[in-house]
């Protein structure tokens, strides 16, 4: 096995995307994703049982597609990596079972990895080796956290996280209120472009002096979501039209303002000069521009993977797997469990 440039196949099934990626070292060879998002749209959120069944159906064709795109045969790979948590229990199980079957039948080592760490590691496929330490802001439909990444394969410390809704969840719920389709983030992003971000002064969660004492690096978006709901209801009651673009822009500004403010505060507190933003919400155009604008004034560099690598995919799992193999960590055992609440401090499951 080439330890420097391992060929790794990564499998991701923690939510509604069946992702299979192939990397050699930090070179992306294939990133096949089958999403069940359309099947969840009418429920306004991901339905776990529907996601698990969709993973089962998509797994073999997605593995085949990834190998074909990468121009490899399964027996060429040096290792199999899989998201073992956190995520939806039934969905994770499908990926873990598939990875175990492949690893056992091919006689290859198996690495059960942390989904959040994989969201960080993926950036290496686009921008090269990670600056370590770096500060990571992970924002998606299922998670919102600030992490100190000392070594992406073994030393990640959580500095703060959401105490209620995840950032993407807030985007999805507000979009629903505004009659926009699920998942709502991209629709709010688009609507906001023709609205005013200062039209409505929505609350910035956990930013008061008192809240900062206990929750300096934590987030809260449920108060903001309720404030938007009340504002829209009041408009509807008075018979006036709801200015969708203004609500979208003002809501988006409130979320991005808090995310960027707290991320930069955390970077300053930790003495870190590199901020990495990942997860589905990192695709948001305002989040990207606001982070760049404020960080450059502080001399902090910002790295954001391209949108396709920000949302859940198998390449991120393969990227983390490849770093783990290169750094010589021992593989997981073949009876690796799926752990829906795997803490971010466990980058590699035993």
The neighbour count for residue 301, using CB atoms within 10 Å, is 14
The verdict on 284 binding ligand KG4 (CB under 6 A) reads yes
Shortest separation between residue 68's beta carbon and Zn ion, angstroms: 25
The two three-digit tokens of residue 169, written as one number: 């969840």
Distance CA 323, CA 9 (A): 12
Per CB under 6 A, the segment of 179-187, 230-238, 259-267, 322-330 that binds ligand KG4 is 179-187
Per CB under 6 A, the segment of 92-100, 145-153, 184-192, 293-301 that binds ligand KG4 is 184-192
Where do runs of H (alpha helix) occur along the chain?
37-40, 48-70, 89-106, 115-121, 123-127, 167-177, 185-192, 209-215, 222-237, 244-270, 285-298, 307-310, 314-326
Within 8 A by CB and 6+ apart from 72, the residues are: 7, 22, 29
Question: Is residue 139 marked as binding?
Answer: yes
Within 8 A by CB and 6+ apart from 79, the residues are: 1, 6, 7, 8, 9, 103, 108, 109, 110, 111, 321, 325, 331
The verdict on 15 binding ligand KG4 (CB under 6 A) reads yes
Four-CA torsion 174, 245, 140, 156, nearest 10 degrees: -120
The verdict on 95 binding ligand KG4 (CB under 6 A) reads no
Site string for ligand KG4, 132-161 (x = CB under 6 A): --------xxx-------------------
Distance CA 259, CA 166 (A): 11
Q: How many binding residues for ligand KG4 (CB under 6 A)?
A: 19
Among 168, 305, 314, 321, binds ligand KG4 (CB under 6 A): 168
By three-state DSSP, how is residue 295 classified? helix
The verdict on 140 binding Zn ion (CB under 5 A) reads yes
Among 45, 48, 131, 186, binds ligand KG4 (CB under 6 A): 186
The verdict on 257 binding ligand KG4 (CB under 6 A) reads no
Question: Is residue 342 marked as binding?
Answer: no
Residue 183 touches which of ligand KG4, Zn ion, none (Cβ within 5-8 Å per kind)? ligand KG4
Token match 């079957």: residue?
Answer: 101
Among 174, 281, 291, 336, binds ligand KG4 (CB under 6 A): 281
Site string for Zn ion, 301-320 (x = CB under 5 A): -----------x--------
Residue number, 172 or 257, with CB nearest to ligand KG4: 172
Distance CA 199, CA 210 (A): 27
The verdict on 185 binding ligand KG4 (CB under 6 A) reads yes
**Size of the chain, expressed as the number of residues it contains:** 350
Residue number, 87 or 133, with CB nearest to ligand KG4: 87
The verdict on 162 binding ligand KG4 (CB under 6 A) reads no
Distance CA 346, CA 335 (A): 17
Question: Is residue 125 marked as binding?
Answer: no
Residue number, 102 or 113, with CB nearest to ligand KG4: 113
The neighbour count for residue 312, using CB atoms within 10 Å, is 27
Distance CA 29, CA 25 (A): 10
Cβ 247 vs Cβ 101: under 8 Å: no
Shortest separation between residue 142's beta carbon and Zn ion, angstroms: 6
Which residues lie near ligand KG4 (CB under 6 A)?
15, 140-142, 168, 171-172, 183-186, 189, 279-281, 283-284, 311-312
Which residues lie near Zn ion (CB under 5 A)?
140, 312
In the annotated binding site for substrate, the residues are 138-142, 172, 185, 189, 284
In the annotated binding site, the residues are 115, 119, 138-142, 172, 185, 189, 284, 312
């Amino acid at each position: 096995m080439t330890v420097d440039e391992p060929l790794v196949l990564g499998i991701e099934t923690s939510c509604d995307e069946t992702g299979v990626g192939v990397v050699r070292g930090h070179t992306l060879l294939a990133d096949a994703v089958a999403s069940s998002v359309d099947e969840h749209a009418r429920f306004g959120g991901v339905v776990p049982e529907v996601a698990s069944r969709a993973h089962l159906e998509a797994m073999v064709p997605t593995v085949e597609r990834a190998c074909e795109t990468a121009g490899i045969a399964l027996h060429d790979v040096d290792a199999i990596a899989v998201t073992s948590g956190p995520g939806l229990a039934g969905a994770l199980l499908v990926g873990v079972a598939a990875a175990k079957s492949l690893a056992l039948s091919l006689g290859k080592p198996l690495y059960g990895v942390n989904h959040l760490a994989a969201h960080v590691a993926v950036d290496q496929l686009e921008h090269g080796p990670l600056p370590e330490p770096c500060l990571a802001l992970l924002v998606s439909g299922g998670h919102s956290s600030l992490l100190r990444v000392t070594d992406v394969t073994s030393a990640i410390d959580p500095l703060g996280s959401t105490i209620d809704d995840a950032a993407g969840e807030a985007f999805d719920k507000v979009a629903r209120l505004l009659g926009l389709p699920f998942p709502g983030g991209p629709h709010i992003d688009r609507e906001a472009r023709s609205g005013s971000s200062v039209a409505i002064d929505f609350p910035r969660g956990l930013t008061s002096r008192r809240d900062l004492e206990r929750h300096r690096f934590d987030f809260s978006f449920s108060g903001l979501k309720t404030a938007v709901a009340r504002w829209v209801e009041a408009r509807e009651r008075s018979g006036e039209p709801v200015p969708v673009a203004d609500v979208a822009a003002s809501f988006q500004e409130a979320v991005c303002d808090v995310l960027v403010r707290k991320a930069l505060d955390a970077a300053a507190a930790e003495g870190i000069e590199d901020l990495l933003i990942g997860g589905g919400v990192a695709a948001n155009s305002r989040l990207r521009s606001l982070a760049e604008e404020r960080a450059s004034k502080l001399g902090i560099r910002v790295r954001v993977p391209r949108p396709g690598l920000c949302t859940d995919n198998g390449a991120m799992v393969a990227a983390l797997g490849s770093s783990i193999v290169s750094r010589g960590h021992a593989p997981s055992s073949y009876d690796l469990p799926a752990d829906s609440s795997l803490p971010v401090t466990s980058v590699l499951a035993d």
